[in-house]
Amino acid sequence: MSKGLKTLLVGLAATTALATAAQAADLPVRSAPPAPIVAAVPVFTWTGFYVGVNAGYGWNTNDDDVVIPGVGTFEADDEGGFVGGGQIGYNYQIGSFVLGAEADIQYADIGGDSDFDGIFNGDDDDDDSWFGTVRARAGVAFDRALIYATGGLAYGEIRNGFSSSDDVSVGWTIGGGVEYAFTNNLTARVEGLYVNLEQDDDDLPAVPGVSDETEFGVVRAGLNYKFGSY
């Protein structure tokens, strides 16, 4: 091969290499694929209106045995039974704290009977017994679990054994409970209440030493439907 041909081939090779490098520089730089978008999991909140039903057990705590000298002995025994009804309410969550209000109405197969030295016996009609409450609620939420205290107004017709009035009695209630949200809309609870109703009985004379209050306890389970997606 002649020296001139060699020089020509070397020049062609160099020119080709330069052209290839320039063309590669003009190509776009390949970037890494974008990261997949992951949707955030919705955070559950207790805020919202709800309605529900409940059922449980109630018992009258009025046990009065009173001895009146020269007259005789009055005895009152408590009775317990089924309690059930419905509730409606609203919760508002601020951070981990939950504030709310609730009203309920209850059938109550509880009451009491009275006896005077085995001569006179009075028994209330449990089928007519009922009560309702209007209460505030305040609690602490641990995600879907809620521990709360509650208290407020109580009213109803539940007799204590010495009472015979059909008037609606008014008083107060206090209690607490635990509630858990199984889904975004369905919650279940266990709740306990103490209820005190003032009796206004004009049909019977006052009996010394006998309370004119009806006191009873309630333990019940409830199921609520909360409106809203979360």
- Residue-range domain boundaries for the chain: 48-226
Distance CA 159, CA 203 (A): 13
| Percent of residues, the chain, with pLDDT higher than 90 | 49
State which of 9-23, 98-112, 208-222 shows the largest mean pLDDT: 98-112
> Contact 63/80 with Cβ under 8 angstroms?
no
Cα angle, residue 126 at apex, residues 218 and 216 outer, rounded to 5°: 25
Residues 6 or more apart whose Cβ sits within 8 Å of residue 145: 178, 179, 180, 181
Q: Tell me what pLDDT residue 105 has.
A: 98
Comparison of pLDDT for 152 and 121, the residue scoring more: 152
Q: Which of 35-44, 85-94, 112-121, 168-177 has the lowest mean pLDDT?
A: 112-121
Of 113, 117, 114, 115, the residue nearest 70 (C-alpha): 117
Distance CA 193, CA 26 (A): 80
> At residue 110, does pLDDT exceed 80?
yes
Q: Tell me what pLDDT residue 134 has.
A: 98
Distance CA 76, CA 152 (A): 28
What is the pTM assigned to this prediction? 0.71
Both structure tokens of 52: 């529900």
> At residue 173, does pLDDT exceed 80?
yes
pLDDT digits 0-9 by tens, 32-90: 677 677 655 568 999 999 999 999 999 987 655 555 555 555 555 557 899 999 999 99
CATH of 48-226, one of 2.60.40.3620, 2.40.160.20, 3.40.50.300, 2.60.40.10: 2.40.160.20
DSSP conformational letter for 212? S
Residues 6 or more apart whose Cβ sits within 8 Å of residue 121: 113, 114, 115
* First and final C-alpha spacing in the chain: 86
